[in-house]
Amino acid sequence: MKILIDTNVILDVLCNRKDFVEDSLKIFRYCETAQIDGCISSLSVPNIVHIMRKELDGEKIKEILTTLTSLFTVIDLRETDLLKAADLEFSDYEDALQAVCAARAKANYIVTRNIKDFTYSPVPAIKPGELLERL
């Protein structure tokens, strides 16, 4: 199974978000042991750094990025992705880009807590807990 993990799920783990970290961390572990093929959009990386740099120094951020890139395949953004995302009926362009990256990566699911934001996604979106139930 291949999944694209949305930025908010990554931040659940990195920021230890009490109500969400448990399921998201389990998914990280499945990816770490190659039971799930996990990927993230390159779009997530600058968003994560922007949020984390408010609390962490450059060395710690580099360590986090090294860990993320060892756990997940980073799906690059292409010019065609930018145009395809603009054609989707998404209210949030960033979510549309995530959906386009997931489709190009041939992901089975986008793992996110914001299911409603992916109503028009070519790849179905599911919550972390729902993915764990399907395993």
- For 96-118, the pLDDT digits (tens) are 999 999 999 999 999 999 999 99
State residue 63's pLDDT score. 92
State residue 55's pLDDT score. 81
Distance separating alpha carbons of residues 62 and 66, to the nearest angstrom = 6
- For 12-56, the pLDDT digits (tens) are 999 899 999 999 999 999 999 999 999 999 999 999 999 888 888
Distance separating alpha carbons of residues 27 and 45, to the nearest angstrom = 18
State residue 4's pLDDT score. 98
* CA 67 to centroid of chain Cα atoms: 14
* DSSP 8-state code for residue 75: E
The total number of structural domains in the chain stands at: 1
State residue 8's pLDDT score. 93
Q: Residue 45's domain spans which residues?
A: 2-134
CATH, residue 93: 3.40.50.1010
State residue 52's pLDDT score. 86
134: pLDDT confidence band, cut at 50, 70 and 90? very high
- For 47-90, the pLDDT digits (tens) are 999 988 888 888 989 999 999 999 999 999 999 999 999 999 89
